[in-house]
Amino acid sequence: MRIAQILFTQGLGSRRQCAGLIAAGLVRVDGRVVDDALAEFEPQGLVFEVEGRAWPYHERALIMLHKPAGFECSQKPRHHPGVMSLLPAPLRTRGVQPVGRLDADTTGLLLLTDDGRLLHRLTSPRHHVPKVYEASTRHPLTPGQVQQLLAGVVLDDDPAPVRAAEAEATAERALRLVLTEGKYHQVKRMVAAVGNRVEALHRSAFGALTLPADLGPGQWRWIDPEALLPPR
């Protein structure tokens, strides 16, 4: 693939802007300046530099973000900054979008991708992709409340009960839930339905991925889709 096309597909600018970066000597491959927009490279596995910053080629983008509190997952945030503001411009340009949503006050693992098929697979309830949440509650948890969450509770927008795939009290006011659905405010509403209240919420895992301890709030990294989904 021509280097100008590689830059364009990775969100480094318009075709004209990418050609300008190359002509200005701002693109390097293997430490050498590439000033010919028609120069061809094998894109798979390619790492190139633009203005001194290394960029790995990805045909489709999939990234993990440690979402901090106070950021909205909406493409058009209204009351708080959007999570997209935490990402570099090339990722925003190529159109990554959140895989599902976390509330503004919820922290933890958020995936973003520009792969429509993967996005559908991860969010479709038919695929039952598990997500792990750690909740702090206002009142002490009782064994009965945990059993209710496992047995199923009815939310106000659906007569069918929703159940936690797993639920356990990890401390007097701390709850670990595993869900395979993605309803609006689901954890908060489920906990409210059993007579308690969520005071803080953190997503620690999505599919086979666990939020790494060395990925701080507001930081992101590339993810291999194969590491996210278990073998079929």
Active-site residues, by number, are: 103
Phi then psi for residue 192, to 5 deg, are: -65, -35
Quote the CA–CA distance of 119 and 121 in Å, as a whole number.
6
Structure tokens at 84: 């997209």
> Other CB atoms closer than 10 Å to residue 130's CB: what's the count?
14
**Rg of the chain on CA atoms, in Å:** 21
Question: Do 59 and 210 contact (CB within 8 A), yes or no?
Answer: no
Structure tokens at 99: 């895989």
Q: Amino acid letter at 118?
A: L
| Terminal CA-CA length for the chain | 32
H helix or E strand, kind and range, residue 16: helix 15-23
> Other CB atoms closer than 10 Å to residue 159's CB: what's the count?
7
